[in-house]
Every structure is written in structure tokens, then in C-alpha cells.
Structure 1
Amino acid sequence: MRIYPNQLERHIQQPLPNVIMVFGDEPYQVQQALDTLRQVAKQQGCEERIRWTHDNQFNWQLLMDEAQALSLFAMRKLIELEMPTAKPGRDGSKMLQQWCALPDNEHILLLWGGKLGQEQTKSKWFKEVDKHAWFIPVYDVEKDKLPNWLRQQCQQQGLNITANAIELLAHLFEGNLLSAAQEITRLSLLYPNQPIDVVEIEQVVSDQSRFTVFQLVDDLLLGNFDRASHVLQRLQGEELEPVIIAWALQKEAEILAQLVAAQQAGQSIDALFKSLRIWQQKQGLYRQAMQRLNSQSIEIILSSLAHFDLSYKTNGLKHPYTMLAHCCALFTGDPRLQSLTKTMVA
């Protein structure tokens, strides 16, 4: 039976099967599923937990020996086998199939590891085990599904959080579910039984650092270049990796390029804001930037950032923040600076 992580809570109300497989490439959800299954297995009588890691020297006979051996500590055992490659080989395939055929087997075998490809899911051992097992495939949460995932996490923590605050969390923690979950836990401690909106999220995030790259890009969009310069200097003092700043600038420039192109084509900007999941409070910043920047000036920003990325990653830069300051200055839309940049990146 295939069960997705968001369905697991419903299924663990019934007895666990003798084989459970958890495989995926998103570490936080994998760990969350494993922790849940371990807890439930213990509640259902598996007092003893045994763990192995499969490698080329792994002795598969241990699995059957453990299943048939009497325990001094418990009647039922949870036997975990981490399979980094999910390739048990001939001996392992045979032993896994024998495990599924064991009569009166009360123990639980928990197999887990990285993402399975078609080579594994079409293999003989997987097809046979899958007939008797729960298979929990874990995928990274896609961008358009992240707000709903965050909403579910907030509900579990009992948070009263607005839709705009959810969108901001999605913007801040895309691709890092562990940090997102930690932030939600922190919010539950800071704002118990209180409504949480964008202001509270920004306050918590800004508390982590004197200045953040998100403040920098907001100031650039707003046109507050004196403050943006100050924030950039402080980020340099905090030794923030320059690539992170370049990534943030590129992301904002790409969004601006889409907005300007839509505006020139006579399309609805509001509809595009919704499609890009840009929360309402930030839409005004983009509108102000669009008054200064046209498609040509945004293309120059992107070219300058591409030049920075290539120079930094191939030859190294003695003063990367100097070039980043130049990229930031391009958000002013100054035609003289744009002309100079064309010469530099040509």
C-alpha cells in the first residue's frame, strides 16, 4: 500500500504491517515519518529496537536469525535496516521475500533510505515486498504546495496564522523544511494563543540577525538606496556568503522581468502576483520598482549578476561585495550606470 507522509497519521490508527518502507530525498519528512513509526511501533508492543545499515558486507542471514530468535526483553521487535542504495542484491532480495512469507511473524521490518528510482521500484524484490508492505515515498514539497504544508504544520502547533504570514514563511523557507518547522515551533512559543501576521514573522526573522538579505532586497525594490547600502555593509561585516546575496538579487530581478513583461503585454499584474504567490504587503514594493526599471534595465541587472556568478565561482573575487554593491546600484535605474555596466560585462 502506498501512503504519503500527509496520510500517515490516519493510517497509524490501525496495526502496523510486518514491513514498512520509507524512501525519499527530503530529509526532514523522512525523519518525521521514521520518528512517528518508531513511536507507534513501541505503542503496539515493539519494546526492542534493532538497527542495521546495509553495505556490501552486510550479512542478510542476521535478518532471519533475529526474526526467529527469542528476546529477553520483548515479544515483538522493530528491526530497522537503512538501505542507502536500495539495492539488496541477490541474497538480500531472497531474504526479504522470505521475511514476507514467514508464518506468525509478529516483528516489524522498517526499511528506509534515499529516493527510489525506476530501477528499484521495478525490481523483483520491491514488487514482492510491496504486496505486503506500506510504502511511504517522500518527495520534496513543491513550491505551489508549500503553503498548504506550512498551514498543516501550523495547525498541528495550534497557531492562529494569517494567509499572508503563510506566504511569507513559504518565501523565506522554500527548500528548507527543517528550518521552516523549527521556525513554526519558535512562533508557537513566542505567540501562544495570539494571531500571527506578517509583522510578527518579520520581527522573528529579523531577530535572528542584525540585518538580513531580505531587508536588503526590500530596500532595493522600495528605492531606499542609502539604507540598502548600509544593510549591505553590515551583511559584509557578518561575513554572509556573497552567493546568497547574488541569488536573492537574481530572484527579485527575475520576478520584476516577468511583471514588466506582463505589463507591456497588457496582462493583469494582480493575476501574476497571485500566480507568483507574492504576498500583498510586498506587491507595493514591486510596483514602485517597476516605475524605475524597464525590461532593458532589468536585463542589465541579470547580466551583471551572471557576470558576478561566473567570476566568483571560476576565478574568485578579492572584493566580491564591491561588485555586489554595483549590482545593487543598478536597481536605481540610472542610465549612466547601465551604460557603464554594458561595457563591463560585454
Structure 2
Amino acid sequence: MEAIYAPKDILNKLQDSRKNSLIILGDEPVISNHIKEHIKASTKINHFEYQSITIDTSLKIEKLKPIFENNSLFSNKTLFNINIPGGRIAEEIKKLTVKIISENIEDIFIFHFQNSTKDLVKSAWFNKIKKYAIQFDAKEPSVNQIENVVKTRANYHKLDLNNESISLLSNLSLGNLLAAENELIKLSLIENNKSIDAKKLISLISNGSKFDSFELLDYCMKGNIKKTNQALSYFEEEGMEPIILNGIFSWIFNAISKLKFSMIMPVSNKKLMELKIFGSSQEYVINALNKLTVKQIDASLIKIKEIDLICKGLRTGDPWLEINRFVFGISRLLNKKSE
């Protein structure tokens, strides 16, 4: 897992394999940025110059040639960071890139193909570059992978998270690696090399806030409409990532759904613990099981997934508008149920 999500010694691996290029396939930002920053730092120590290039459908060979052929660049070894968003690339540009990497073996080339397709990996151009390259995939981890990936990234940042805190952070980020990474970076600045359990994680994530995300959950699931609205407004004004708030509701509603469909009543403390539901959160779950119908729980999970896609840019919409509608709606629903 470390080799995929936190690769090390990339420059040495290139040299050992007698290759001078890296291929990054995909647009997951944590992995692709890790690889680029790692190789950039390694080559900087070895006095490489750095050149960033974007090859897209609008690029003309007349603009690209001088970058590769500039004598001042080739007076030293150079790291070329070549970003390729996608689309049809001119044949003459493809031929030039292959020619350059084959002739300049002392330089390092990163080819970042952001839009990975079957046609791309089958193409003659890609396979010609591949002869000189080590390949990395930059893809969003699956639901089954996310906890191991978060653990790998936590180790990379020298953070000691126990299994419970890793599971909680994975749920809070709704399986989004970038959201989890942002939290890990913040934690590494204040808790480097210290053990972090779930309780401490919650405290650190909400440190210094007028409201914390679990207070929002508390207000919403108890049907406190006024406080729910105040907390939502505060988080939006403070610029919190809506995907984090959505992750908390995903965590709690997935547990509610599993218990509702299990038909095991009353719900035992052991079962709640197995689902990573602790402390006062157990009260929310039991209340929701008693007050919400199967149809309402299913509709909530569908909405949570929809908000997740909007947050990731995979569906059109305003994430803050949707999270406000959803959370406020649940609060009103539970408020009515308590009357």
C-alpha cells in the first residue's frame, strides 16, 4: 500500500531501472502531488533545473520545441513536469516528446496523463513513452481501500492514529482521500509523533471553533432547529469543507441503516460499538431508529451520496445549499417526531 499511496526513493528506482521518465495515470491529487513533490525535492538536491509544461489540444509545436531545445536548460540536467489534461494531441508533438526522452537520458520527465482511458494506454505514443518510464496510478481509493490508505498517509506524516481514529477519519472524509489528507496535514503540524485516539481526533479537528462538527450532529439529531441553523451558518462562513460535514452524516446514517435492516431490537451496546458508534452518538442512533421510517433512512443515504458527488465535482450543484437543505430537513423531521 505504501508503494502506491506514499512511494519513496523514486529517483533511485529510476536510476536502478535505467529509465528517465515517470508516468502518472489519473487525476487523484494527493497521490499525483506526492509523486511530483517527492521527485522534485530529490532532483533539486542533485541540482536539476525545473520546467513545467502543459501539452493540450491548443499547443503548437513551435512553442514546445524551444523549451526542449533551449541550450541554457540543457547546460544542466532538467526535470520536466509535463501535464497532459486530455484530448487530441498533434502527431508531431507526440513524435517530439518521444525523441526528446530517448535522446536526453540525463534528464527526468514526468508525464501526467490526467484523463486515463483505455484508448490512451493502448496507443502507440503511450507505449513508446512507457519503454522509458516507471508507471504510477493516481486513482481515488475504493471504499474497501480507504482505511488502509489513510493509515499509510498518516504514517507518512508521522502520525500515530489507532484503528478507531483511522476508521473515524475515513468516515468523516466520506472516502475522499483529499479531504482526509487535508486533516492529516493539519494534525501533523500540532501532534507529530504523538498517539491520537478517536476522542482526541474529534477534539483536534474542531479545535478553536465556536461550534464543532459533532455539535452540529447533536443539534440536528435532537431536532434543535435553531442551533442546527446557527452551526450550519457558522461552518459556511468559516469556510469548512462541506464534504467533512457530509461525512459525519454518512457515518451515522450508514449505521442507522444497518441496524434498521437487521431487525434486531433492542439494539445492544456491543452492536453499536462494532459500528464505531460511541458515547452520545449511540443516543442519536437509537432515537433515529425509533423515529425514522425505512423510506426516510433510504432517502437520507441517497441524498448524502448525491452531496458527495457534488462536493467532488462529479455532479452539478451547490454543495453548501444541498448540505443545508439536508441537515435542516432532518432536524425539522426529528423535531416534529419529538412533539
TM-score normalised per structure 1: 0.72
What SS does structure 1 have at the residue aligned with 2:80?
A: strand
AA in 2 matched with 1:33: I
> How is 1:139-218 mapped onto 2 (pairs within 5 angstroms)?
139-207=139-207, 209-218=209-218
- Structure 2: tracts of 5 or more residues without a match: 308-315
> 2:157, 2:185 within 8 Å by CA — same for their partners in 1?
yes
> 2:53, 2:81 within 8 Å by CA — same for their partners in 1?
yes
CA pair 25-269 structure 1, distance change in 2 beyond 3 A: farther
CA pair 115-268 structure 1, distance change in 2 beyond 3 A: farther
Q: 207-216 or 15-24: which moved more?
A: 207-216
Q: Sequence identity of aligned pairs in percent?
A: 17
Alpha-carbon displacement from aligned partner over 1:190-248 (angstroms, at most 9, x marks no partner): 33453211221111222263224543334555xx44xx43531312542739x877886
Whole-angstrom CA distance in 2 between matches of 1:181 and 1:261: 33
> 1:83, 1:113 within 8 Å by CA — same for their partners in 2?
yes
Q: Does 1:240 align with 2:236?
A: yes
What SS does structure 2 have at the residue aligned with 1:187?
A: helix
- Shift in Å, 1:70: 4.0
CA pair 89-269 structure 1, distance change in 2 beyond 3 A: farther
Q: Does 1:110 align with 2:104?
A: no
- Shift in Å, 1:280: 5.0
Specify the alignment match of 1:6 in structure 2.
5
Specify the alignment match of 2:51 in structure 1.
50
Whole-angstrom CA distance in 2 between matches of 1:236 and 1:206: 14
Whole-angstrom CA distance in 1 between matches of 2:179 and 2:7: 22
Specify the alignment match of 1:98 in structure 2.
99
Specify the alignment match of 1:89 in structure 2.
90
AA in 2 matched with 1:9: K
CA pair 212-297 structure 1, distance change in 2 beyond 3 A: farther
Alpha-carbon displacement from aligned partner over 1:117-163 (angstroms, at most 9, x marks no partner): 11211111011211221122200122322221221222223322221
CA RMSD of aligned residues (A): 4.3
Whole-angstrom CA distance in 1 between matches of 2:261 and 2:127: 49
AA in 1 matched with 2:259: L
Whole-angstrom CA distance in 2 between matches of 1:62 and 1:321: 48
CA pair 119-39 structure 1, distance change in 2 beyond 3 A: same
CA pair 200-30 structure 1, distance change in 2 beyond 3 A: same
Whole-angstrom CA distance in 1 between matches of 2:196 and 2:301: 39
Whole-angstrom CA distance in 1 between matches of 2:132 and 2:189: 42
- Structure 1: tracts of 5 or more residues without a match: 338-346
> How is 1:284-323 mapped onto 2 (pairs within 5 angstroms)?
284-285=282-283, 287-289=285-287, 292-293=290-291, 295-296=293-294, 298-299=296-297, 302=300
> 1:206, 1:212 within 8 Å by CA — same for their partners in 2?
yes
Report the count of equivalent residues: 316
Larger radius of gyration: 1
AA in 2 matched with 1:35: E
- Shift in Å, 1:4: 6.0
Whole-angstrom CA distance in 1 between matches of 2:208 and 2:78: 43
